[in-house]
Amino acid sequence: MIGAISRSIAIAVLTLAVWGLGQITYIVAICPPHRAWMRAHADASTVVLDSGEGVARPGDAIFVCETPHHIGPILWHEDLGCFCAPETVTVERLSQSVNGSCTVDKPFPRRDDAWGACRHARCNHHENF
């Protein structure tokens, strides 16, 4: 019985180790919001988001926010994303809410717009206030 328990614990530890390595690989090598941050810092006119399923709701504005990507106390890198929030929300309030630095990209987004960092009214996150 002790052998079976030991094997179960070993399998659980191995599973957590594989999951953790997968998360670290994703964060370091794949993270799309960090890639957007790198593109934006290389070329200020770069689009952050122009496709996806998240779309601004009626009455939303779109903000571009630079946020820290961390797991627990470990800060891995900075991310850049498009956040949808009610148009009445201030930049300061949203920045505080997402623990980052935000700017307004579109006060009145439309699906046919082809300008700005967050095109076609797309956003990665919806913030509710």
Distance CA 50, CA 83 (A): 13
| pTM score above 0.75 | yes
pLDDT digits (tens, 9 = 90+) for 51-104: 888 999 999 999 999 999 988 898 999 999 999 999 999 999 999 999 999 999
Distance CA 88, CA 61 (A): 8
Distance CA 105, CA 115 (A): 9
Distance CA 41, CA 70 (A): 20
What mean pLDDT do residues 24-42 have?
Answer: 89
Distance CA 20, CA 120 (A): 35
Token duo for residue 66: 């630079």
pLDDT digits (tens, 9 = 90+) for 36-64: 999 888 886 678 888 888 999 999 999 99
The pLDDT value given to residue 119: 94
Q: Are 83 and 94 in contact (CB under 8 A)?
A: yes
